[in-house]
A and B are shown apart, each in its own frame.
Chain A
Amino acid sequence: MREFSKRYWPTIPGIILMAAFMLGPVIWAFYGSLTNVSLTGPRAQNPDFIGLKNYSHLFTDPAFPKSIWLTIVFVLLSAVVAQNLLGLLLAVLLERSNKIIGRAVSTTVVAAWVMPELVSAFACYAFFSKAGTMNQILGVFGLHEIEWLFAFPMASVILANIWRGTAYSMMNYQAAIGEVDHSLTEAAVVDGANSWQVFAHITVPVIKQTIVTNMMLITLQTMSAFTLIFVMTAGGPGTKSMTLPVFAYKVAFKYGDIGYGCAIAVVMLVIGAIFGVIYIRSMKNEKGLSNE
């Protein structure tokens, strides 16, 4: 035991910091969700314990299933389908493309991801606003102006998130494809396989683990996307683009019901934890977790 503490004491500062500022809020979320703590007023400091009332409220609140549904749509369409497939497509095309074109494309895609999230949200807000570039382009084709952020809020934030996040998948796939053993693809080509067959039967099976990991990670990231939606539509109009993080924010800071907001946070934590466990299990046999 003495040997152990002599060796492992350097982990203590990190453990304390994470216990206080990560585990602390997680426990607080559970605790807060069982009280009627509010943003202002007397109940801000001295809340009452109200048991599971917040949860029974949550499960009868029509906004909740709608918000879950919007989160699923947002994650599936923008991340799992679009970012993932577009990222993979770009990685494949960039591997073989002309250097100058390739560099121009990848720099642009990555730039949308490197800039602070708030700035990309502003850029998308400007792009989709009534007097913005989207309508300008439609105007060139003689189409009518549409108020995208009001008429199609979900489509706008989904497109914005594809623009913002594709770089991440692209870079993961570029790295994975760069490590595919060329003798495999060359052998297939010698055997008469065409590009599609090489891709489907060699590249995809070899990078399968990357595909799984990438999908888990972008799902977790997209699920918790807040700034982009908050700036572009603030969840509106009404509740038309109110995903779970925006829902929790609105309930807590607009309607002042922190306890109810905590209950939503607990639901998100549970969903995140489930995905996290699946992700860790899929990583289990990877190196990095053991020293052997």
Chain B
Amino acid sequence: MSDITTNAVTNTALNQPLSARNHKKASARLQTPTSPRHGVSAFFAYAVLILVFICFIVPMLWLFLAAFDKNASFQTKIPKQWTLGNFSTILNTQTTFRPMWNSAILAFVATFIVITFAVLAAYPLSRYQSRFNKPFLYTVLFGTCLPMTCLMVPVYSLFVTFHLIDSIIGTILFLAASSLPMAIWMTKNYMDSVPMSLEEAAWVDGASMMQTLGKIVVPLMKPGLAAVSIFVLMGTWGNFFVPYMILISPSKQPASVSIYSFFGQNGLIAYGQLAAFSLLYSAPVVLLYALSNHVLGTYSLAGGIKG
């Protein structure tokens, strides 16, 4: 997860500047004779697509139906008695609001740190030639490959030694550090597509490196930074095992952990509430993803590990 997804979106967005990805939509497609719009091959193509659609939507339906069902079970069924009771039961400070607030704190602070550090680190890597660049970027790329779940046990042990267990700051810093390699890599690639000529003009006028970065480069790469932020936000919001191990006090736990303990304690009775809680917890990232797709184009977060 987690971190999977996290590690996931990996090289995806990366190598391609946004503009290059969007222009292909414009080229008109020739309707080749083999395009399966008619005949037997078209029939099979649509049969496969519809089968996939059914297989993928069925496991999700339960979440939507059970959340509004007064007598929900693990079965997928149209509720006999529709209700909002599952939501109103869990909409209280202890079950929903505080964990969601904690999730938001973890995700936003970690994302802020990651973006700041990634922009800073990407600038010299993108703008200067040095023998330092290649080894640094290889190390960063290597960091994106490390399976984060294998660090669970050593991180726990390290945090015990340094008294960081149950520390929100410790959790944020670890989440930030584990997303940073990917973020530096993505940011550097977006920054490469910002032309240098404007900065050169600014340098001639005596602007410092930080002024140029803040006033010229960052404003020009806003879509790229938005994509990186969304990528990091989704990863940290959805992360379960890091806060699960590190944060012990229920008052500090984010939604992912509190929903898991809710599942452990009530999951076998309160199916409807579990589904309702799952929907509420998923909503922010799903909306964010949909929004980013709309604003930044379909492949802003994935699609672009090209050869």
**A interface residues (Cβ-Cβ under 8 A, vs B):** 4, 7-8, 10-11, 13-15, 17-18, 20-22, 24-26, 28-29, 32, 37, 44, 86, 89-90, 93-94, 96-98, 101-102, 104-105, 108-119, 122-124, 126-127, 129-133, 136-137, 163, 165-168, 171-172, 174-176, 178-179, 182, 185-186, 189, 193-195, 198, 207-210, 212-214, 217, 220-228, 230-231, 244-245, 248-249, 252-253, 258, 261-262, 264-265, 268-269, 272-273, 275-277, 279-280, 283, 286-291
Apart from A22-B181, A253-B245: 7 A-B pairs, beta carbons within 8 A: A8-B130, A10-B209, A171-B303, A224-B149, A272-B150, A273-B142, A289-B137
Cβ-defined contact, B154 with A32, below 8 A: yes
Cβ-defined contact, A179 with B150, below 8 A: no
B 261-307 contacts with A by CB, 8 A? 263, 271, 274-275, 278, 281-282, 285-286, 289, 299, 302-307
Cβ-defined contact, A133 with B75, below 8 A: yes
Cβ-defined contact, A8 with B173, below 8 A: no
Return the chain B residue nearest A211 by Cβ: B307
Q: Could you say which residues of chain B place their CB within 8 Å of the CB of A22?
A: 143, 146, 151, 177-178, 180-181
Q: Nearest-CB distance from B232 to chain A (Å)?
A: 13
Cβ-defined contact, B147 with A224, below 8 A: yes
Cβ-defined contact, B150 with A268, below 8 A: yes
Return the chain B residue nearest A212 by Cβ: B307
Given contacts A101-B50, A217-B10, A279-B145, contact A117 B240 (CB under 8 A): yes
Return the chain B residue nearest A194 by Cβ: B34
Given contacts A117-B1, A176-B306, A213-B11, contact A261 B286 (CB under 8 A): no
CA A220 to CA B52, docked complex, whole Å: 25
CA A217 to CA B43, docked complex, whole Å: 33
Return the chain A residue nearest B238 by Cβ: A116
Return the chain A residue nearest B302 by Cβ: A171
Cβ-defined contact, B1 with A227, below 8 A: yes
A-B contact count (CB 8 A): 370
CA A36 to CA B200, docked complex, whole Å: 58
Given contacts A21-B178, A116-B285, A117-B238, contact A175 B304 (CB under 8 A): yes
By secondary structure, the B interface counts as helix
Cβ-defined contact, A17 with B180, below 8 A: yes
Cβ-defined contact, A280 with B132, below 8 A: no
Over the window 131-145 of chain B, the binary record of Cβ atoms lying under 8 Å from chain A Cβ atoms (1 yes, 0 no) is 011101110011101
Q: Nearest-CB distance from A78 to chain B (Å)?
A: 12
Cβ-defined contact, B124 with A10, below 8 A: yes
Which 10 A-B residue pairs are closest in the complex by CB-CB distance? Answer: A209-B307, A175-B303, A224-B147, A276-B145, A21-B177, A268-B150, A116-B238, A29-B154, A10-B120, A261-B153
Q: Choose among B9, B45, B147, B173 the residue that contacts A223 (Cβ–Cβ < 8 A).
A: B147
Q: Nearest-CB distance from B177 to chain A (Å)?
A: 3
- Judge if B12 is at the interface, Cβ distance under 8 Å: yes
- Judge if B82 is at the interface, Cβ distance under 8 Å: no
Return the chain B residue nearest A136 by Cβ: B75
Q: Choose among B121, B143, B177 the residue that contacts A11 (Cβ–Cβ < 8 A).
A: B121
Q: Could you say which residues of chain B place their CB within 8 Å of the CB of A209?
A: 306-307
Q: Nearest-CB distance from B213 to chain A (Å)?
A: 8
Cβ-defined contact, B157 with A37, below 8 A: yes
Q: Choose among A14, A111, A166, A272 the residue that contacts B180 (Cβ–Cβ < 8 A).
A: A14
